[in-house]
Amino acid sequence: MRLVVAAVQAAPVYLDLAASLAKAETLIARAAAQGARLVVFPETWLPGYPAWLDCCRDVNLWDSPAVKQVYRRLVENSVVVPGPVTEALGAAARAHGLVLNMSVHERVGEGRGRGTLYNTMLTFDADGTLAHVHRKLMPTYTERLLWGQGDGRSLHAVPTQAGRVGGLICWEHWMPPARQRLHESGEDVHVAAWPQLKEMNLVASRHYAFEGRCFVVAAGAVMHVRDLPAELEPAGELAGSPDALVLRGGSVIIGPDGAILAGPVYDEELILTAELDLDRITEEQMTLDVTGHYARPDVFGP
């Protein structure tokens, strides 16, 4: 089976869900026009990764009015699952006949509590159905100011019209049990959602492909200082530099032997594509299969 996959490297309209959704629909259409049958977006692309946690002043101050205002805007522009936004994303997947992986800030709907946000990955099959929902297990460092913890029920790939698709978010790629759970579920294509791909993020993505004997589509976003919340003050060298990049992209597509098929590309918006031959997975399993002849359950099992 051959298919074209796409990593969307772009900036949303930060903290504006409606405008970001409209941009996503345009980008999905562009990817479809390039032949993509699987389209992947970066971490919490709707309505934008909270890079301000790490690059703005006084974010962690207790009872900060400015941070409270930003958080309120973030909650107001987060996605209820299921809800109108997931319906629109499913419609886009169905209209273009492609599998869509979109990462979002998720908020619970009315009647199910209030206040907690989750870092959530959504997978839509080509018929528009919401095939899978995965919440990030452990928010990374400063992210714990915003997101609650996910659970392990979603650690598996799902069958789609683009093969068996699974995914992890950012630093989940350094959680060995999480990786193994997904390997055991038989991924053909793994989605690696990042805010951007620094050197070690690229290392983790290539390692995942080699270890899991699967293809990896790793997506990173682009963000400028001017996109940071106006309520907050950029720190250090970013102050007074509205055109400076906070997130640089680095999207990449990787084969089941760890080889890079496309990218990484930095500092620009683009749709990165590559054609995958899923039969190569079986070829690479000859030398390494961490769910089969390299598993050794007699040693590592309970």
Residues tagged active-site = 43
Q: Other CB atoms closer than 10 Å to residue 150's CB: what's the count?
A: 22
Residues 6+ away with beta carbon under 8 Å from 195: 42, 43, 44, 49, 51, 170, 220, 221, 247
CB 126 within 8 A of CB 93: yes
Output the CA–CA distances (angstroms, integers) from residue 87 to 13, 58, 128, in the order listed.
20, 37, 8
CB 15 within 8 A of CB 74: yes
Residue 252's beta-bridge partner residues?
218
Tracing tokens 């997978």 back to the chain, one arrives at 123
C-alpha 101: how far from its chain's center?
Answer: 8
In angstroms, the CA 220 to CA 42 distance is 5
What SS3 state is found at 129?
Answer: coil
